[in-house]
A and B are shown apart, each in its own frame.
Chain A
C-alpha cells in the first residue's frame, strides 16, 4: 500500500509564526504536490515538485515556499502565517507515468489565530 504521511493532523499557530508542514512518502514517487482545500473552492495547487531540489509554482503560491531535499520528503513552509492561510492542506504523490493517479495524505487542518 502506498503511504503518504503528513506530520500533523491538526495544527494551531499564531499570526506571524513560521510554519512547517511535512509530507513523507514511501513509494519512491517522483512527483509530489501540496494543495489547499477550502469549502466551495475545491483543491487548489500551491506548489509541486518533479524531482529532488526541483519545484514549480502552482496556482496559489503566494505566501508559501517549499523544500525537497530528499525524494521522499516534501515540505510546505508558511514564512509568516496569516489568518487567511487557515485551511486544510493536502499532500499528494504521483509516479512519473502521466496516467497514474495521485495518492493523498490524510491532510493537515491548520488554524492560524
Chain B
C-alpha cells in the first residue's frame, strides 16, 4: 500500500526566505508523485509532478521538487517566498498499477509567509 507523510503541518517563513516543504512516501513500485496547492476556499491545483523522467521537477510559480529514491523523498522548494505563496500544500503518490492509479494524499502543510 502506498502512503505519504508530510513533515510539519504548519511552516512559517519570512517573505524572501527559502521555502522547504517535506514529503516522504512509501510505495511498493516506482511511484508517480505530485504536489498540489490549495488557496482558501478553493479546490486543489497541480504545482508539479514526477513521472520517472528527470528527478528534478520544475513547476508553476517558481516551485521545484527533487525525487530522491534512496531517501523516499519528494521535498518541495522555492528559493524566495512571496506573500502570494501562503496556502496549504499537499503531496500525493500514485502507484500507477491496476486499480491503484488513485492518488493517496498527505495531510497537508499550511504555509504562512510573514512580511
> Which A residues lie at the B interface, using CB under 8 A?
4, 9, 31, 33, 35, 40-43, 45, 48, 50, 56, 58, 90, 92, 94, 98-99, 101-107, 109
Contact = CB atoms under 8 A, between A and B. Distances in A.
Interface string B34-71: 10100001111110010110000000000000000000
A42 B108 contact: yes
A41 B107 contact: yes
B32 A106 contact: no
A56 to B, nearest CB: 7
Contacts, number: 60
A2 B61 CA distance: 19
B107 A98 contact: no
Interface stretch (B11-19, B74-82, B95-103): B95-103
B82 to A, nearest CB: 23
A104 B97 contact: no
Contacts of A4: 43
Contacts of B25: none
Q: Which among A4, A43, A48, A50 has the greatest number of chain B C-beta atoms within 10 A?
A: A43
Contacts of B108: 42-43
Given A92-B103, A104-B45, 10 more contacts: A4-B43, A33-B102, A42-B106, A48-B102, A90-B43, A92-B44, A99-B51, A104-B36, A106-B42, A107-B42
